[in-house]
């Protein structure tokens, strides 16, 4: 049986990569391609909605899929754990599935898992992420997810001095995140963990998005069709072998446990 996919944002860069993967994948076909101006009624008849739109459009796409009883795979950035909490009851009530993938790159997913595992042993953590100048949201979904995983694995906020100063970045689940948007880079993230007398840096670079994302896209597509409930992160579908079980729940850290500028949704 062929799985029919409605691809939202199919004319964008990520959408184009996803479509190439689907075209080469047995048992899947693109039944509809939508852009940000399309009527979401076009989702009707699909077995799976794949969202590669923009942060401003994505929430409407997810809600439209849930209302129609269709599972949705979200590759759009801008979905923090706080924002996902708002749609979780809708997914559970509808008996459908929603998969949120902050980054399809296996290297990025592994880097975030390593950061979460190591974060339990270091009191200080900060993230510096850089993307091309055309990326409209910041911090990136990958940085948000990494910060949330670190704090969830620790069970307590990281130490973050002087966060009342704007130059110290935006706190996401207690972790200061610094976003760069400039030409000459595709995607790069450095997670810096510090303790008495030492520093551990975990760096991931994306040089070729199509090559880097394709394996993760295939894995996500194959699992998203049958998922029930909310799943956050590609790490739920692969055995990385590192990380703390507490980091995989995906629920946000309570606001009263996080000092300073707790990250809100990056886009309305």
Task: Establish whether 204 is a catalytic residue.
Answer: no
Q: Which of 132, 135, 178, 204 is catalytic?
A: 135
Q: Which of 131, 132, 162, 223 is catalytic?
A: 131
DSSP the chain: -PEEEEEETTTSHHHHHHHHHHHTSTTEEEEEEE-TTS-GGGGTT-SEEEE-S-HHHHHHHHHHHHHTT-EEEE--S---HHHHHHHHHHHHHHT-EEEE-S---HHHHHHHHHHHHHHTT-SEEEEEEEE-TT---SS-HHHHHHHHHHHHHHSSPPB-TTTTSGGG-EEETTEEEEEEE-TT-SEEEEEEEEETTEEEEEEEEES-HHHHHHHHHHHHHHHHTT--EEEESGGGGS----S-GGGGS-PPPPGGGS-S-----S--
Task: Establish whether 223 is a catalytic residue.
Answer: no
Which residues are identified as catalytic? 131, 135
């Amino acid at each position: 049986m062929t799985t029919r996919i409605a691809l939202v944002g199919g004319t964008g860069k990520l959408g184009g990569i996803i479509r190439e993967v689907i075209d080469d994948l047995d048992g899947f076909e693109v039944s509809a391609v939508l852009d940000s101006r399309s009527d979401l009624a076009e989702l009707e008849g699909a077995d799976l909605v794949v969202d590669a739109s923009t942060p401003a459009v994505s929430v409407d796409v997810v809600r439209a899929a849930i209302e129609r009883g269709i599972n949705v795979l979200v590759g759009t950035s801008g979905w923090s754990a706080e924002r996902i909490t708002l749609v979780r009851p809708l997914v559970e009530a509808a008996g459908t599935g929603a998969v949120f993938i902050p980054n399809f790159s296996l290297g990025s997913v592994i880097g975030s898992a390593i950061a979460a595992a190591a974060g339990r042993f270091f009191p200080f953590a900060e993230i510096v992420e850089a993307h091309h100048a055309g990326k409209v949201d910041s911090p990136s979904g990958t940085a948000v997810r990494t910060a949330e995983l670190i704090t969830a694995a620790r069970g307590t906020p990281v130490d973050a001095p002087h966060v009342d100063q704007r130059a110290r970045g935006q706190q996401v689940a207690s972790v200061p995140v610094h976003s760069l948007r400039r030409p000459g880079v595709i995607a790069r993230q450095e997670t810096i963990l510090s303790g008495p007398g030492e520093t551990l840096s975990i760096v991931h670079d994306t040089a070729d998005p199509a090559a880097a994302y394709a394996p993760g896209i295939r894995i996500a597509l194959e699992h998203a069709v049958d998922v029930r409930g909310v799943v956050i992160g590609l790490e739920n579908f692969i055995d990385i072998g590192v990380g703390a079980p507490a980091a995989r729940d995906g629920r946000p850290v309570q606001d009263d446990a996080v000092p300073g500028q707790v990250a809100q949704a990056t886009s309305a």
